[in-house]
Structure 1
């Protein structure tokens, strides 16, 4: 069965495909295709090329630099850029904070922060998770106390699993501003924090595959101007839920699934396994599951398709998409067999790859598979998402 798009959508697909082919730097494409580690400069280079074309912020309103695409065009853009070997858009300011500021920020906040996000001059860290408050964000304990003069909040606490914080100059954070609220969700606010503030310390977390994409952030009497409060005081829980809806939809990663499945087929041919019936059946099963996931995602994009359980679609896509990606990465390891065993963290960098003894096509497989374990954890674990889906579904009947 083949998905059918309109002639206009197909023309747009070809436009995006050609843009990626013509403008994506070859060294960045090679890193992505081999699963090598991307540096901050790689992302900034690609993001600025997209911004110059007006394509970096597809979810933003036109008046703030968005391209004015419909939901199907955004879907096609995500798919074609990934299939073309481009990095996915990971910047939290673009995908998460931007929509929140558009919906709830002041005009001064929009003027101050949105242009620098678009130009990749400012990268934002997501200060949500804490020890004991990962998937249960209502349990955040980082406090923000308003000074007597009402000009600053004083923030104290500990954020963890903060992606790319070492690249970021700002953080948006959920903080507890009313410890006596009757419900935990009612005493949380949404603050914008300068990462260079005195008292804020970033400590890297070493990952299984050798990277340091995740960090801990310690806040010790960090003073934050009151104008950095987004929306109303104590209403941050609502803004956080709004933000996570945008995050989990993208986490489905249909384009990434297609990208890695194509990689698996290339590797199977390279390893002489094209005629292995068991492997081919396994890859065919992935194709079927991916098609079902894609149909579900596209169905939810239709204006006339209204779910009986609104709000859980993102959780459904997140669970299925992340588990499918993990399964494909495991298949990649199985296809490579013993050839996937050699692992060199140094060879994760393109400039050192040619000196590595490991085959370039295989050097990152183990690291990629280990890194994929996080997919079903961040953005809300699969277990938590299944509880949300079950509760919403039962409440709807």
Structure 2
């Protein structure tokens, strides 16, 4: 689907497409398009490459080192990166903690952390979920007690993505247990090299080490690592989650994967004909494509509201729900299309230890792992059930 863009937008698209085609390493693009796993060096090297051009943080204003692009330009950038197979810039620093620091952080925090996020010096992780405090995040129990010139942090976080690589964590902690649970939470920046922090891997269904448990035992965090005011962290957390849920929609990526799905279904045969010509399978693909078109239009509405100066609101919950449903639907149809060839996924191939899959089918080898990995999308960033409650309360007034 092509939306209406101005001549200036078309020129902008042409410029960034040309730059990406010239600068995106072929080996890195190949890993993305073949659904192989990206390692720390893949993410870091691409971030550095973008940083040299000033494009590592597309949503940042010029005053903090960003390109100052408008919402439409940022949408075009996301589309072109996804279409060409560029790896994503990890969101934890650039898209999640940075907006919080820009709005609520001290000048010292901005000067310290924003340049290091921009050039990729610091790798960030997110300390939100805990055992028993996932969708009901406000019930978190990790505690920070003020002791002279520091906080003493004790507790546990879980499902902490890529914490094994992180230099810093932005973390929600309880600083007051005697008030309403949302009113006793603070937002801390924690150096992951601080004594008392233990990171333990969680093995995933796809045999990848992507998430972790993080334990805090008498971890000293300087008082100046508090963002904003003590016990106001819930406000900052909600602001951050609005940015996270908007990004989860991933329309550009889903459009690329729809093209991949159609090619896959043309190559597979059923009763001597391409699978894509089977009426039942074709109807499933068409229904999913319609959902994706509707999602893209909704994203455009959010882009328009941002152009008018309104930040992401409860509409972000709609994008999160539909975006993740489309992503999961695509992985389901890919596995359906490839049939039993998808069952035994090839971990060494996914991790780049082999250039070709043992089955001889490079398309089939990653699909089971890809399917398993995308079961998480309807849960992280606030489960889709919780997002429906947000929509009911804040949009429908129920």
> Would you call these one fold, judging by a TM-score over 0.5?
yes
Aligned partner (choices 260, 263, 268) of residue 266 of structure 1 = 263
Provide the residue aligned with 1:175 in structure 2: 173
Q: Secondary structure at the match of 1:394?
A: coil
Displacement of 1:355 = 6.4
User: How far apart, in 2, do the equivalents of 1:342 and 1:355 lie?
Assistant: 11
Q: Residues 340 and 362 of structure 1 are in contact (CA less than 8 Å); yes or no, is this contact kept in structure 2?
A: yes
Aligned partner (choices 214, 221, 224) of residue 224 of structure 1 = 221
Q: Residues 56 and 119 of structure 2 are in contact (CA less than 8 Å); yes or no, is this contact kept in structure 1?
A: no
Unaligned runs of 5+ in 1: none
2:79 is the alignment partner of 1:79: yes
Displacement of 1:270 = 2.3
User: How far apart, in 1, do the equivalents of 2:125 and 2:376 lie?
Assistant: 18
Unaligned runs of 5+ in 2: 269-273
Q: How does 1:241-260 map to 2 (within 5 A)?
A: 241-260=238-257
User: How far apart, in 1, do the equivalents of 2:374 and 2:340 lie?
Assistant: 20
Displacement of 1:273 = 2.4
Provide the residue aligned with 1:233 in structure 2: 230
Of 40-49 and 214-223, more deviation after overlay is shown by 40-49
Q: How far does the alpha carbon of each residue in 1:269-292 deviate from its partner, in whole angstroms, 9 at most, with x for none? A: 222424323222222222211111
User: How far apart, in 2, do the equivalents of 1:123 and 1:297 lie?
Assistant: 28
2:87 is the alignment partner of 1:90: no
Provide the residue aligned with 2:271 in structure 1: none
Q: Secondary structure at the match of 1:363?
A: coil
Provide the residue aligned with 1:31 in structure 2: 31
Displacement of 1:369 = 0.4
User: How far apart, in 2, do the equivalents of 1:242 and 1:231 lie?
Assistant: 13
Aligned residues: 393
Q: Residues 123 and 169 of structure 1 are in contact (CA less than 8 Å); yes or no, is this contact kept in structure 2?
A: yes
Aligned partner (choices 210, 217, 220) of residue 213 of structure 1 = 210
Displacement of 1:340 = 1.0
Displacement of 1:49 = 1.3
Q: Secondary structure at the match of 2:329?
A: helix
User: How far apart, in 1, do the equivalents of 2:324 and 2:146 lie?
Assistant: 40
User: How far apart, in 2, do the equivalents of 1:81 and 1:274 lie?
Assistant: 27
Q: How far does the alpha carbon of each residue in 1:110-139 deviate from its partner, in whole angstroms, 9 at most, with x for none? A: 111111111111101100100111122111
Q: How far does the alpha carbon of each residue in 1:70-102 deviate from its partner, in whole angstroms, 9 at most, with x for none? A: 111111111110110111222401110111111
Q: How far does the alpha carbon of each residue in 1:210-268 deviate from its partner, in whole angstroms, 9 at most, with x for none? A: 10110000000000000100001111010001100100000011112112111101211
Q: Secondary structure at the match of 2:354?
A: helix
RMSD: 1.9
User: How far apart, in 1, do the equivalents of 2:23 and 2:158 lie?
Assistant: 36
Q: Residues 299 and 305 of structure 1 are in contact (CA less than 8 Å); yes or no, is this contact kept in structure 2?
A: no
Q: Secondary structure at the match of 1:144?
A: strand
Tell me the TM-score normalised to structure 1 length: 0.95
Q: Secondary structure at the match of 2:90?
A: coil
User: How far apart, in 2, do the equivalents of 1:91 and 1:324 lie?
Assistant: 20
Q: Residues 346 and 357 of structure 2 are in contact (CA less than 8 Å); yes or no, is this contact kept in structure 1?
A: no
Tell me the TM-score normalised to structure 2 length: 0.95
Provide the residue aligned with 1:162 in structure 2: 160
Q: Secondary structure at the match of 2:380?
A: coil
Displacement of 1:168 = 0.4
